[in-house]
Chains A and B, each alone.
Chain A
Amino acid sequence: MTAKRKVHYSVVQFRRQPNADGAGAVNLGFIIGFETKQCAAVGLAVRASLDEKMLAELDPLSREVLENRLDVLVAEVDAALNGHHKPKDVLRALAAQNPWTLCVTPPQEAEVSVAADFDNASVQKVAEDYVLRLYSRNVLEAQHTGPAVAAPAPRRVVPTHGLGSEIPALPAPWMIPPVVRMLPRAA
């Protein structure tokens, strides 16, 4: 038995040129917004490693931003949570606040098939599952990925966190496990 779930996602990019469409950008990961029966949440998944040669060629500030990308983005997510109860609104706020070189794209929606007992898993596991599913759909590649981004791994089946569905494997160092924040319910 499977069910359909909607997940919103925004891609985090390092835009080396001022191209509004993100051409030539280095994709750093993505931010997802989703709801379960228990809660609404936002998850941030950031790529683990970057091209050292590219980093060395950057100005000091760009290099420091990229080297501390997880801290910077977690702080941005935390700031965007304020006053929002819907995950998509958090993603829209993040896109509005981050249109420049370290860029969060406007949110898009994806529908995924999940196991029937999906909602019984922990929020962290649900977030990890969504991240893997979106990654397997090449959502990062669809965002004008530049050459510095690693190619996606070939699909293969791996154990599935007990969620009962097939999830493609990733190259181990690609993505740091997602940081997840739960949203307060609207009063």
Chain B
Amino acid sequence: MTVLRQFDPDIETLAGTWRGELCTSAKWLPEGAPGGLGGICAGYLVKNGTTLGYAKPSAPHDRKLGQAYVNNPIAAHEKIAADLAHDLGLPVPPAVLWDRGQQKGKGSQHCVISAVPFWPAYTWAQVMRLPKAGARLLPLIARAASAISVFDTWLDNRDRVNAGNLVIRESDGFGVQVAYIDFAQSMSFGWGNGPAPGVIRVEGRFPGSAPLDADAIRDTVCAIETMLEDQIRSIVGRVPGAFLAPQRGWCIVEGLLRRRECLRGEMNKRARL
């Protein structure tokens, strides 16, 4: 059976909590130096009790990367994407904003924490090197890959080319579990202060060799179309100004509302809904 959102029960409990909670009040301890893992977003692992998360500063502030990166509200993007995905039943790990307070040393004040959704967890980049596993798993993740292609298209996610942004687990109890991560380069990353363009590019399935599941695409389009406008406005509008400037917030809300109107038409061209 193909899978969609199938996280462990404790992660789903956490997801419910974080859907209602905007900023974490728990004490999270960095494991290793903030930014120690490198990468554009300079993420690092954090821990609260037995819960492991992946923290990212809201903006990397590395001017060499270019203006789109410097002003990119990464934490807000991750939180908004996680909340939308939660309500749509899509396999994106729960996320919560994290205000660390003023930092004297290395490390940003405004961050986001995404829960590590299951363990063990392998990136698709690692799995794709295994011919047997690839052939065995591709049909099983068709539904998730097809559904996320709709979500990525709606959010204008431009970083699904990175094979590290799909993590996967195979277990006796759950079968196959997947999580699509990293929405830093979505929404206002490309839209700036707006207005956002309509849907001019349809994101393909990731991995591209996963079979097409037209039902999953159709169901996801329907779920996005029927999401209440107030629900979308609330998810974006409640993000504090320290994480998302008002103009950017307006751009994201209007972009999401505008783009979902033409989502079916563009997906239809690709998937014949």
- Chain A residues within 8 Å of B, Cβ to Cβ: 15-21, 59-62, 64-65, 68, 71-72, 75-76, 79, 92-93, 95-102, 106
In the complex, what distance in Å separates the CA atom of A19 from the CA atom of B130? Answer: 25
User: Which of B44-52, B71-79, B210-218 lies on the face that meets chain A?
Assistant: B44-52
Does B164 lie at the interface of the complex (its beta carbon under 8 Å from any beta carbon of A)? yes
Give chain B residues whose Cβ lies under 8 Å from the Cβ of A95.
Answer: 36-38
B133 touches A72 (CB 8 A): no
- Chain B residues within 8 Å of A, Cβ to Cβ: 31-33, 36-39, 43, 45-47, 52, 54, 116, 119-123, 125-127, 129-130, 132-133, 136-137, 164, 167-172
A68 to B, closest residue via Cβ: B130
A100 touches B121 (CB 8 A): yes
Counted as pairs of residues, one from A and one from B, with CB atoms less than 8 Å apart, the total is 93
In the complex, what distance in Å separates the CA atom of A18 from the CA atom of B49? Answer: 12
Contact of B122 among A17, A19, A75, A102 (CB under 8 A): A102
B37 touches A64 (CB 8 A): no
B165 to A, closest residue via Cβ: A97
Contact of B39 among A18, A20, A93, A100 (CB under 8 A): A93
B116 touches A18 (CB 8 A): yes
Q: What 7 A-B pairs have minimum CB-CB distances, sorted nearest first?
A: A20-B31, A96-B39, A92-B38, A20-B45, A101-B120, A61-B170, A96-B38
Give chain B residues whose Cβ lies under 8 Å from the Cβ of A17.
Answer: 119
B162 to A, closest residue via Cβ: A97
B32 touches A20 (CB 8 A): yes
A101 touches B122 (CB 8 A): yes
Give chain B residues whose Cβ lies under 8 Å from the Cβ of A98.
Answer: 123, 126, 164
Given A68-B130, A96-B38, A99-B54, A59:B125 Cβ within 8 A: no
